[in-house]
Structure 1
């Protein structure tokens, strides 16, 4: 697959086809104006230079930086040629449009230093247009005003999406960072749980050794297994330690899924909770990091329902477990609404996805066929919990 195939998606190709049609129309219009006012073949140079910049703009996806530099170089060369050969002022409208596309695209996507250099190059072209410009009753030549307007439009078209994307990335990163800190603060609980188990088994082993020395090996094997579990659980959580500060610990407390559902059920649609059969509060048999993650996924999903699906009549929370995986699914029956689909994919789910990724799980969220919304999370169990 070549570079064009990788970078130019169908929507971009369609947009470029439309842009090419606009370029052709502007070139034809400008050629007729030059032919009418200057006569002869004066239109040929301007149209050739403008067409060259327009073609470069159409293939900018191959390399936006080089395309912008090439377009600016053609524009400067056209200005100098028009100045010394006494040709119509350059850049013309088609070239201005092509340069606007190149500069706007570069400002939007390139690294800051490259984007600033391209923007400065565009301003230099605006200044250079004074060399080939003809006097105007407004004091500023028309070609310079046209180029200045195109340059400003390119900056706005490039900077607005760039700043918006940066804002979204910053918000998403804050959510990820907060989720990592929450997990890091839960590390104390995870370690305490497993170390307590080891201590209890060690105490039991001492009693067994005194009364039944032949059972010492079995007791030591249990302690070794508990230590392995503690090490595995710690490794799964400790990798998320990032920039720990003095903020207050964030823990879930003793609440269980049934308590969470009961609270939500009183102020929203009816909630039906399905837990693994025969286990009641089934989450209690899982490792602490699994329990807290299941809780947080259900909590975030129910919060999204209350915020973004006010017309939902019921919500079903299903928690199932096989030998290797815990699956959590939260579905509602709210009527379809295109605007809601965008709101339901917020930053809360970004934090949940960060947590699940760290533990080897997956998260899928999206509209259901017909109506409603579904959040589906899968979380692998440690080897000893699969038995």
Structure 2
């Protein structure tokens, strides 16, 4: 509904602008006709006003086709130069015609493809130069009207270029915003899907191992059900973002804190290697974007342990604060095996993007003795806790 209202408002402004231009051109043609009739007499004003009317109509209707409108206006102005010379008509550039040509050329320079825009601008310069040359035959020293028309034409070309650059910048910014939104959504989907689906796979493998042991099988199936329900809940949060009309920054898709981090670690330790969580002594008061990033980092690191670590006995998640910086370290003691960072994987890339977006750094790699470590350092900005 809001989008329809905005489009209607923009459409009304455009029509108002066209109506205003039409009124201005009509007033100019009227003044022009009266002035020529008073100074030249007879019907000398008819041709001049007719040419101005053709160019003015093209300027008002330029939204239909800027190329055709510019061609019509330039053709009319081009025809007016030799006719005025041969028939002994007024040779000074008509202000109304000059205004119409300025609008047509400026609109073409702003919106047409580069080659056509350049062609229209060059043709406009040629027509203007011919018209000014014809006027200088009558007044060798030039007139204020010739100078004014020249300045107006140059201003139209410069204005068209400026608006073109602003349009390009606006589109570039919009594209960057869309790219950032796609990356953010891709990271969120990866975090949600990879973690919960990994849990489902591990529980399913455990269920197959217990075989006919009814009690252990029921426990494994319950864990599969819980992991599936968590995955659906997380997916609904992400989809809710897509349907939310508010700015993306108004609410994190998954508000998290120390309690949620403890739950994550506890859930992982219940069906995998033991996990030791070490937090600062004081209750952390991190901003929402920092706490969310810490949660996602730990989640991804634990998921990678479950998928790639070879028989780890313990995982240590350590969060320390040193002044304005927060350091998150996730280490395991798995035996040496296949590399954790597989070609084409997006987990490490997503973690790095999250950390660097906050101005932090991320290091991940094998430990000297055994296992793997992920170390992230994030600046904690002053602000309200999340």
Q: How does 1:163-174 map to 2 (within 5 A)?
A: 163-174=165-176
Retained in 1: the 8 A contact 2:204–2:224? no
Higher mean alpha-carbon deviation, 181-190 vs 86-95, is at 181-190
* In structure 1, C-alpha distance between the alignment counterparts of 2:258 and 2:28, rounded to whole Å: 67
CA shift digits 1:30-60 (9 cap, x unpaired):
2233223323221221111112211222222
1:21 and 2:15 are equivalent in the alignment: no
If the length of structure 2 is used for normalisation, what is the TM-score? Answer: 0.52
* In structure 1, C-alpha distance between the alignment counterparts of 2:256 and 2:222, rounded to whole Å: 31
Q: Indicate the SS of the match to 2:175.
A: helix
CA shift digits 1:130-162 (9 cap, x unpaired):
453234767456665344223212123323333
* In structure 1, C-alpha distance between the alignment counterparts of 2:178 and 2:259, rounded to whole Å: 24
CA-atom RMSD, angstroms? 4.5
Structure 1: unaligned runs, 5 residues or longer: 1-5, 238-250, 266-280, 290-387
Aligned to 2:69: 67
1:34 and 2:39 are equivalent in the alignment: no
Aligned to 1:379: none
Q: Indicate the SS of the match to 2:68.
A: helix
Quick one: which of 59, 83, 94 aligns to 2:96?
Answer: 94
Structure 2: unaligned runs, 5 residues or longer: 1-7, 240-252, 262-283, 301-386
Q: Indicate the SS of the match to 1:29.
A: helix
Runs of 4+ deviating beyond 6 Å: 213-216, 251-254, 256-259
| C-alpha displacement of 1:197 | 0.8
Q: How does 1:77-116 map to 2 (within 5 A)?
A: 77-89=79-91, 91-116=93-118
Q: Indicate the SS of the match to 1:62.
A: coil
Retained in 2: the 8 A contact 1:78–1:91? no
* In structure 1, C-alpha distance between the alignment counterparts of 2:181 and 2:11, rounded to whole Å: 34
C-alpha spacing 1:44/1:174, structure 2 compared with 1 (3 Å): same
Q: How does 1:339-350 map to 2 (within 5 A)?
A: none
* In structure 1, C-alpha distance between the alignment counterparts of 2:34 and 2:202, rounded to whole Å: 93
* In structure 2, C-alpha distance between the alignment counterparts of 1:130 and 1:141, rounded to whole Å: 10
If the length of structure 1 is used for normalisation, what is the TM-score? Answer: 0.51
Aligned to 2:198: 196
* In structure 2, C-alpha distance between the alignment counterparts of 1:194 and 1:73, rounded to whole Å: 68
How many pairs align? 246
- Compare CA radii of gyration and give the structure with the larger one: 2
Retained in 2: the 8 A contact 1:31–1:44? yes
* In structure 1, C-alpha distance between the alignment counterparts of 2:152 and 2:68, rounded to whole Å: 20
Q: Indicate the SS of the match to 2:179.
A: helix
C-alpha spacing 1:33/1:119, structure 2 compared with 1 (3 Å): same
CA shift digits 1:210-259 (9 cap, x unpaired):
5349969x959959x95xx79x97xx99xxxxxxxxxxxxx999647999
| C-alpha displacement of 1:9 | 2.5
* In structure 2, C-alpha distance between the alignment counterparts of 1:144 and 1:258, rounded to whole Å: 75
| C-alpha displacement of 1:123 | 1.0
* In structure 2, C-alpha distance between the alignment counterparts of 1:213 and 1:87, rounded to whole Å: 106
Retained in 2: the 8 A contact 1:127–1:144? no
| C-alpha displacement of 1:62 | 2.1
* In structure 2, C-alpha distance between the alignment counterparts of 1:184 and 1:74, rounded to whole Å: 55
C-alpha spacing 1:22/1:254, structure 2 compared with 1 (3 Å): closer
| C-alpha displacement of 1:191 | 4.6
Retained in 2: the 8 A contact 1:79–1:131? no
CA shift digits 1:311-336 (9 cap, x unpaired):
xxxxxxxxxxxxxxxxxxxxxxxxxx
CA shift digits 1:285-325 (9 cap, x unpaired):
xxx99xxxxxxxxxxxxxxxxxxxxxxxxxxxxxxxxxxxx
Aligned to 1:302: none
* In structure 2, C-alpha distance between the alignment counterparts of 1:9 and 1:71, rounded to whole Å: 25
* In structure 2, C-alpha distance between the alignment counterparts of 1:201 and 1:74, rounded to whole Å: 80
Q: Indicate the SS of the match to 1:60.
A: coil
Retained in 2: the 8 A contact 1:7–1:61? no
